[in-house]
Chain A
Amino acid sequence: MAELKDISSLDTESTDNLQESAGRALESLGTKTDGLLAKLDAILVGAGMTQAELDALAEAAGDDLDALEDGEADGGVGEAGPARDPSTLIMTAGASAAAAAARFAVRFNRPLVNGAWVQPRAGATPVQLVCPATGEGVAAVHVCSTSDIDDAVAAARAALDAGPWGSSWTGAQRRQALHEIANGMAQNRDELSWLESLAGKPISQAAEDIDASIECVRHFAGFADRIQGKYFAAHPGFESFTVREPVGVCGLITSFNYPLQCRIVLTVWKVAPALAAGNASVAANTVVVKPAHQTPLSTLMLAHIVSQTSVPRGVLNVVLGGAEIGQHLAAHPGLDMVSFTGSTKVGRLIAAANAAVGPRRCTLELGGKNPIIVCADADLDKAADSVVNAAFGEKRVHGLVSKNLIVSANMGQNCCAGSRLLLHRSIHDAFMDKIKARAARLVLGHPQDPATEMGPVVDQTQFDNIMARINEAKRDPSIRLVTGGERRGTTGYFVQPTIFADVDDAAPLAVHEVFGPVLAVLKPFDSIEEAVRRANSSVYGLAAGLWTNNLRSSQYATKHLRAGMIWINNYNDTPVYMPFGGLKQSGYGKDLGEEALDGFTVLKSVHSARE
């Protein structure tokens, strides 16, 4: 009954919020309640309930549904009424998941090459995608053969060399096309969110991701008709200038062993600047995208949306498959560059595969073991909210973050998750109390329940890896388990938000990227210099967080932290105008910002003598 305890600890406002969201979902469901309770069974089993609990709750849910359909739900919105029976809350939340399931189905499950969905080869067995909350199959996906990759690269090349996109399209047309894509994404926001949630991401956070993706596309649309070179008047005898041109056919790979991280947002981070970067009289980029094999559905939906716009066929191709397909693409001689987001380990393989057919351009956005430093003078409540969000993922906090955000750490499965916490000695214990309480309040649940703050991790492999790291830390007598540390329920890949304290800087938990909801609180620090030095003692350098109101501390940390992104008094906000990318083993090259265009363009220098 762990779930029930968690939910009964919610305050009145939270329970009202739950009712509100469930009510909204049910309204959208309309009268389609047939078979609802049967679907609820599966969902609640996924949340770790026993059959006896299920039966009791199902009955309550039936009553509740009736009540809602009679119009009671309308009155629940925003009213501070008495808290309702927790079991009812679970049921209504589950109902909303079923509501979403009733509205959508997986429509696209095959590679898209040259504007056509690829026919499965005779005798090929589709791969089952499994819901990490229930273990049930959600879709069968047809993966590629290596010859499909060759076809995709050839189609991208043809679209570049022979098609209108590469030969006659203007920057203004590309700008318009990107806006069409953004419009299509906005129109299909709910379906995209739902597809994202199938792989475990809570649907409310997935919707925020879609919004961020749309903003990203619109941002890069603005660059499409103003790709600039430079003009140098250095010498009166010469005209000297540079022309920025598209690099050509781009292979965009999101991790094949690091699931979930590389979802639609990160795909869009690459697709948008790639398609924006062009030079009207010469060419524009075309792309072959390979999403992670566990999370291809939203990318396929994106491909469908693109296919409904004016973008010519072959400009965007999507290939599907696992490591073998990823490596075949990375090593394909027909590409002009490879951009990869995923783990450092796979990044090395990609770079090597790319180099084997190169020299050729490659950008890598890899792993992180990101530190968050909390100084004694920080606003501790805001910092605690943020740290919990950074480590485990939950809903947006305090309105600190702007609209263009990836606010959720996605159960820690996020390259910029805050996984190492450094606390000033004077606030260490008080701060631990705060984050422990907040972690315990997090609502674990089905990803399609709008109230869910933490979903399951993506698959068995990832689940096993995370639990192995947790168990390793538990066996270390010097490390103290503060909260969590166990699986949640018996079905699905739910891991409790887990906090370890007194972790030595050199302990495996402090060194290795866990990529799960596990926060290592290191031993306390006494000075900002010490905190920064210890924060930097990692092979990674993706991001770092700092909480302080002290000017000197923030300036010292800004100057001395070795990370590609420094967040001060906020975390995980990635505005589209800021370049994002790591140092050290976290990779090279930048997503987002005008600098993202650097990866997708080449420079030509023109030096012309006058007379």
Chain B
Amino acid sequence: MAAPQTLTNLIDGKLVPPTTGRYIDSPNPAAGATHVLVPDSAAADVDAAVAAAAAAFPSWSATPRSRRSALMLRIADLLEQRIEAFAAAESRDQGKPVKLARSMDIPRAIHNFRFFATAILHQEESVTELDGVAFSFVHRTPVGVAGLISPWNLPLYLLTWKIAPCIAAGCTCVCKPSEITSLTAWMLCEVMIEAGLPAGVVNMVFGTGPAVGSPLVAHKDVPLISFTGGTATGEIISKTAAPLHKKLSLELGGKNANIIFADADFEDAVTTSLRSSFQNQGEICLCGSRIFVQEEIYERFVEEFSRRADALVVGDPTDPATDLGALVSKEHMEKVLSYIEIAKQEGGRIVAGGHRVVDGAFANGYFVRPTVIVGLHPTDCRVQREEIFGPVVTVTPFKTDADAIAFANSTKYGLSASVWTQNGQRAQRVARQMHVGTVWVNCWMVRDLGMPFGGVKQSGLGREGRHHSMDFFCEEKAICCRL
């Protein structure tokens, strides 16, 4: 096995080691052995990065949009040229199948840059005339230095989902990727340098939440905090940022319902539900971890769904035949397995999977079979209420539309939902009653970046997307000129 790779921070356009001189072991989840050494940075590194971002802000915010756009398109082009290397690194670092990284994570990162690079060219505000008295213009002004904190499940995908709108809007940033999955973020630093992005526009400080995230969130020169991750961490961030009157964008957890009516296209519903349950090992905040199936087709669905779940290939993430790779860490795997035990205690019956995979080559990796649980109370148990964030899904029958809606809305989360029906009236009616940020009808995780994205209830605060991210990273100013 190759020696572990040592990462560096990106501060003011330079790749530098952490001031602490310490590094965190980051294992390859499929092998269980350290493959990357992640800087264990501290507040001093954050201060240096914020200073660089603040210094870069006046010039970057005054850079013509066309120039900002061109630089971002260059970043996207370089990413695209290196898609194989990025996909392999993402898979090795996170545990996901390389085919998924190549088909979803990295292409989406490229798209994030291209989408916002071109969207800002069409950004427009209004100008009104007040009855012969005055012209009023709306100026949109970037706010300043943003702190961008991204999670470990879709590392480059979700980091660039924040960096791209941030720098497109004219803000500069200090990023803190998850210390568990920092490799592709570090590779992105090299790409941004090579693309000619001015020094200080994007800074990257690697390390843990307490050591790096906390000082960043509390920093007096960082008026914007955008965070994607767990609801518990989101709560800590809110408590720090709110008294400082920072703009906050929080994209948190979910316990998303996947409602399948008897009149749905059965084959389509089963196929997509397998993805929405187990894609990326179930480590996507949008995964539909609670499947509710109308009773007429419930038995048939459970049989077909569990049969096909059992047929999914769990294995070597580099193998193109693999459907599910490894969970991201040992701790996370143990948490997921503990929920399977809780399900059994709560009266659940495991009809597929339900255990770790420890055969031969997988012995040291964090592999769990896709797990299907039936027989649980539709709402009143931990497994139906708490986010597991792994390849574990419950399937529960329902009778009426009203039941399905009540079950779906019963958790503290409100991120997304899927509704499967061929009846247009029902689709509209049920979708309107889902208390979530996104409803998919007869599909899942189809993402139009022009649409508002975010959650309600404990799933977050604010929306991201073409207009919504611009609203977050900019302030509007009215300038009223007497005629």
A residues with a Cβ closer than 8 A to B are: 168, 170-172, 225-237, 239, 241-243, 279-281, 548-552, 554
| Residue among B138, B140, B442 making CB contact with A551, cutoff 8 Å | B442
Interface residues of B in 439-479 (CB under 8 A from A): 441-442
Selected from A168, A231, A234, A243, the residue in CB contact (under 8 A) with B121 is A234
Give chain B nearest CB distance to A65 CB in angstroms: 49
Q: How far is the CB of A307 from chain B (nearest CB, A)?
A: 25
Chain A contacts of B424 at CB under 8 A?
A: 548-551, 554
A172 to B62, CA, bound (A): 38
**Shortest beta-carbon contacts, A-B, top 9:** A170-B131, A551-B424, A280-B132, A231-B125, A281-B132, A231-B127, A229-B127, A230-B124, A241-B127
Q: How far is the CB of B305 from chain A (nearest CB, A)?
A: 22
- Given A227-B129, A280-B129, the answer on whether A241 and B442 have CB atoms closer than 8 Å is no
Contact B66 A234 (CB under 8 A): yes
Residue of B nearest to A237 (CB): B64
Quote the shortest CB–CB distance from A563 to chain B (angstroms).
19
Do B65 and A550 touch across chains, with their CB atoms under 8 A apart? Answer: no
Asked if B126 is at the interface of the complex by the 8 Å CB criterion, the answer is yes
Whether B64 contacts A549 by the Cβ 8 Å rule is no
Tell me the bound Cα distance from A239 to B129 in angstroms: 16
- Partner of A170 from the list B64, B132, B137, B427 (CB cut-off 8 Å) is B132
Instruction: Tell me the nearest residue of chain B to A226, going by C-beta.
Output: B128
Q: Does B81 have its Cβ within 8 Å of any Cβ on chain A? A: no
A549 CA to B124 CA, complexed, in Å: 39
Contact between B131 and A229, CB atoms less than 8 A apart = no
A281–B483 CB distance below 8 A = yes
A-facing mask of B299-338, CB < 8 A → 1, else 0?
Answer: 0000000000000000000000000000000000000000
CB-defined A-B contacts under 8 Å, sample of 12: A171-B129, A171-B131, A225-B131, A227-B129, A228-B126, A229-B126, A233-B139, A234-B66, A239-B137, A243-B129, A281-B483, A551-B442
Which residues of chain A have C-beta atoms less than 8 A from B423's C-beta? 549-551
How does the 8 Å CB contact mask read for B52-67 relative to A, with 1 for contact and 0 for none?
Answer: 0000000000111110
A279 to B65 CA separation, bound complex (whole angstroms) = 30
Could you say which residues of chain B place their CB within 8 Å of the CB of A226?
A: 128
Q: Does B421 contact A (CB under 8 A)?
A: yes
Assess whether A243 is in contact with B127, with CB atoms less than 8 Å apart: yes
Quote the shortest CB–CB distance from B378 to chain A (angstroms): 25
Which A residues are CB-close (under 8 A) to B62?
236
Q: Is B123 positioned at the interface, with any CB of A under 8 Å from its CB? A: yes
Chain A residue nearest in CB terms to B442: A551
Q: What residue of chain A has the Cβ atom nearest to residue B483's Cβ?
A: A281
Q: Which of A168, A228, A235, A554 contacts B65 (CB 8 A)?
A: A235
Q: How far is the CB of A317 from chain B (nearest CB, A)?
A: 25
**Bound form: Cα–Cα A228–B131 in Å:** 12
Q: Is the interface of B mostly helix, strand, loop or mixed?
A: mixed
Contact A551 B441 (CB under 8 A): yes
**CA separation between A232 and B124, bound complex, in Å?**
5
Residue of B nearest to A173 (CB): B131
Known: A225-B131, A235-B64, A280-B130. 13 other contacts (CB 8 A): A226-B128, A228-B127, A231-B126, A231-B139, A232-B124, A234-B64, A236-B63, A280-B131, A549-B423, A551-B423, A551-B424, A551-B441, A554-B424
Chain B residues in 8 Å Cβ range of A236: 62-64
Please encode chain B, from 127 to 171, with 1 for each CB lying within 8 Å of some chain A CB and 0 for all others: 111111000011110000000000000000000000000000000
Q: Shortest CB–CB separation between residue A589 and chain B, in angstroms? A: 23
CA distance A548 to B427 in the complex (A): 13
Residues of chain B within 8 A (CB-CB) of A549 are 423-425
Instruction: Look across to chain B and name the residue whose beta carbon is closest to the beta carbon of A241.
Output: B127
CA distance A601 to B14 in the complex (A): 53
A576–B62 Cα gap in the complex (Å)? 42
Cβ of B123 and Cβ of A233 under 8 Å apart?
Answer: yes
Cβ–Cβ < 8 Å partners of B129 in chain A: 171, 227, 229, 243, 279-281
- Residues in A with CB closer than 8 Å to B427 are 551
Cα(A171)–Cα(B124), bound, Å: 23
Whole-angstrom distance between the Cβ of B480 and the nearest chain A Cβ = 13
For window 378-434 of B, CB contacts with A under 8 Å fall at: 421-425, 427
A229 partner, pick from B128, B139, B441, beta carbons under 8 A:
B128
Nearest residue, chain B, Cβ from A551: B424
| B-side contacts of A280, CB under 8 Å | 129-132
Please report which residues of chain B, range 217-260, place their CB below 8 angstroms from some CB of chain A when the two chains form the complex.
none
Distance of A310 from chain B, by nearest CB (Å): 16
Given contacts A550-B424, A551-B421, A551-B442, contact A233 B127 (CB under 8 A): no
Taking a contact as CB atoms closer than 8 A, the residue among A171, A172, A231, A279 that contacts B137 in the complex is A231
| B474, closest chain A residue (CB) | A233
Complex Cα spacing A473 to B153, Å: 68
Determine the residue in chain A with the shortest Cβ distance to B141. Answer: A233
Contact B65 A234 (CB under 8 A): yes
CB distance from B169 to the nearest CB of A (A): 11
Contact B131 A172 (CB under 8 A): yes
Task: Say how far A340's CB is from chain B's closest CB, in angstroms.
Answer: 30
How far apart sit A170 and B129, CA to CA, in the bound complex (Å)?
10
Chain B residues with CB under 8 Å of A237's CB are 64
Q: Are A231 and B131 CB-contacts (below 8 A) given A236-B64, A551-B423?
A: no
Residue of A at shortest CB range from B125? A231
Looking at the assembled complex, report how far the CB atom of B101 sits from the nearest CB atom of chain A, in whole angstroms. Answer: 32
Q: In the complex, which residues of chain A have a beta carbon less than 8 angstroms from the beta carbon of B124?
A: 230-232
Residue in B closest to A229 when the chains form the complex, CB atoms = B127
Query: Which residue, B62, B127, B130, has most C-beta atoms of chain A within 10 A?
Result: B127
Which single residue of chain B is at the shortest CB-CB distance from A235? B64
Residues of A with C-beta under 8 A to B130: 280
CA of A279 to CA of B62 in the docked complex: distance in angstroms? 32
In the assembled complex, the Cα of A254 lies from the Cα of B239 at a distance in Å of 65
Q: Using Cβ atoms and an 8 Å threshold, which residues of chain A touch B65?
A: 233-235
Tell me the bound Cα distance from A550 to B64 in angstroms: 48
B56: shortest Cβ distance to chain A, in Å?
A: 15
Most chain A beta-carbon neighbours within 10 Å: one of B139, B421, B425, B442: B425
Q: Which of B66, B125, B138, B425 contacts A235 (CB 8 A)?
A: B66
- The listed residue (A225, A233, A279, A552) touching B422 by CB distance below 8 A is A552
Closest CB of chain A to B341's CB: distance in Å? Answer: 40
